[in-house]
Amino acid sequence: QVQLQESGPGLVKPSETLSLTCAVSGYSISSGYYWGWVRQPPGKGLEWIGSIFHSGSTYYNPSLKSRVTISVDTSKNQFSLKLSSVTAADTAVYYCARPDSGSFLLWGPGTLVTVSS
């Protein structure tokens, strides 16, 4: 079955760039679907960060758009998130997920990223 797995540093310094990768297994990204990132600050709700189509078209949350880049690497069957100029407010569990016709059926287990010096 299709599985998603996030990876990346668990600690990022303020003002630096957060970088995460989502490895996809059981399905070829180049075959289709949107692929996305959602985050959840500790004890708070879910926030959609952005999505990328398999062709590379991207869509970002307007509140984060100036700092976010999502890219896809079909050769490695993975997609990535970069969030620049991070602050403590960016501390969160970051999930990669796949929306199927809009609702998110598939999720990675999530990875906690802490922004701290």
Binding site for other proteins (CB under 8 A): 34, 36, 45-48, 51, 53, 59, 61-62, 95, 97, 99, 101-105, 107-110
- E strand segments, 1-117: 3-7, 11-12, 18-25, 34-40, 47-53, 58-60, 68-73, 78-83, 92-100, 103-107, 111-115
Q: Least Å distance between CB 76 and other proteins?
A: 22
Q: Which of 59, 40, 45 is nearest to 99 (CA)?
A: 59
Q: Least Å distance between CB 102 and other proteins?
A: 3
| Rounded Cα gap, residues 8 and 22, in angstroms | 9
Q: Least Å distance between CB 27 and other proteins?
A: 17
Rank residues 11 and 105 by Cβ distance to other proteins and give the closer one. 105
Q: Least Å distance between CB 103 and other proteins?
A: 4
Q: Name the residue type at position 77.
A: N
- Residue 78 in contact with residue 85, Cβ under 8 Å? no
Rank residues 31 and 75 by Cβ distance to other proteins and give the closer one. 31
Rank residues 16 and 54 by Cβ distance to other proteins and give the closer one. 54
